[in-house]
């Protein structure tokens, strides 16, 4: 992942389950339609073989286009599967260990929910980026959402790049665009038949 630019970059999050017969092509269409900073493999399964097969397929798509591919949680699979890093879902708790184990070249990201303090700690411990969310309202999880003023404050005070993700709408994208480095799009695009076209619409909302 790269440093912030004038407009936020796009960080794609895979569905929690997908069919290898068509999903790599859908991902490729998105990568070819719009510049993408990073892709996150975010399968819900604990089946190591299934994760490995998915990672192999997506790695061919992303690396052919010089796009980084990180994986949710499974740090031990990063080097084995030739991935670019790991996305941690336990806030700042594992950042120090992951940075030490994976080295300086690997991407280490941390999802910190709505906690400014956890995000700051993750950055201090060596996270390459901090992700906050969900930004929009969703019945899933605790019902808490990451407010606009969290991103406004972070953009003024902290240099570590941030990702806004979760239940994003065009209105939220418009409001957040001046204050975030990446938008993490997942179900917002994949639930549409033409994900690449939907992605273009969301990117257009950045202004």
pLDDT tens readout for residues 14-53: 999 999 999 999 999 999 999 999 999 999 999 999 999 9
Rounded to whole angstroms, the Cα distance separating 116 from 190 reads 29
- Residue 141: the pLDDT is 74
CATH: 3.40.50.300, 2.60.40.420, 3.40.50.20, 3.20.20.70. Which one for 9-204?
A: 3.20.20.70
If phi over 0 gives left and psi between -120 and 50 gives alpha, with beta otherwise, what is residue 113? left
Q: Where are the domains of the chain?
A: 9-204
- Residue 42: the pLDDT is 98
Please provide the size of the chain in residues.
207
pLDDT tens readout for residues 47-61: 999 999 999 999 999
pLDDT tens readout for residues 107-150: 999 999 999 999 999 999 999 999 999 999 888 777 799 999 99
Return the H-helix or E-strand segment holding 156: helix 148-157
* Separation in Å, CA 100 to CA 59, 94, 129: 24, 10, 16
Residue 102 has pLDDT above 90, yes or no: yes
Q: In the predicted model, what is the mean pLDDT of the chain?
A: 95
Model pTM?
Answer: 0.95
Helix/strand/coil (H/E/C) assignment for every residue in 70-93: EEECCCHHHHHCCCCEEEECCCCC
pLDDT tens readout for residues 168-198: 999 999 999 999 999 999 999 999 999 999 9
Q: Cβ distance 134 to 141 under 8 Å?
A: yes
């Amino acid at each position: 992942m790269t440093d912030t630019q004038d407009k936020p970059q796009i960080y794609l999050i895979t569905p929690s389950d997908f069919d290898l017969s068509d999903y790599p092509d859908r991902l490729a269409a998105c990568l070819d339609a719009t510049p993408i900073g990073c892709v996150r493999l975010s399968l819900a399964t604990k089946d190591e073989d299934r994760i490995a097969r998915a990672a192999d397929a997506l790695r061919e798509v992303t690396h052919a286009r010089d796009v980084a591919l990180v994986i949710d949680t499974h740090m031990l699979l990063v080097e084995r599967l030739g991935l670019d890093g790991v996305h941690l879902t336990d806030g700042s708790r594992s950042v120090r260990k992951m940075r030490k184990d994976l080295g300086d070249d690997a991407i280490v990201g941390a999802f910190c929910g709505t906690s400014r303090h956890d995000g700051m700690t993750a950055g201090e411990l060596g996270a390459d980026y901090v992700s906050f969310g969900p930004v929009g309202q969703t019945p899933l999880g605790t019902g808490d959402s990451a407010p606009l003023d969290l991103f406004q404050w972070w953009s003024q005070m902290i240099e570590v790049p941030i990702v806004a993700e979760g239940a994003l709408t065009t209105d939220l994208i418009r409001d957040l665009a001046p204050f975030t480095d990446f938008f993490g799009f997942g179900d917002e695009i994949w639930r549409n038949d033409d994900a690449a076209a939907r992605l273009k619409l969301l990117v257009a909302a950045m202004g």
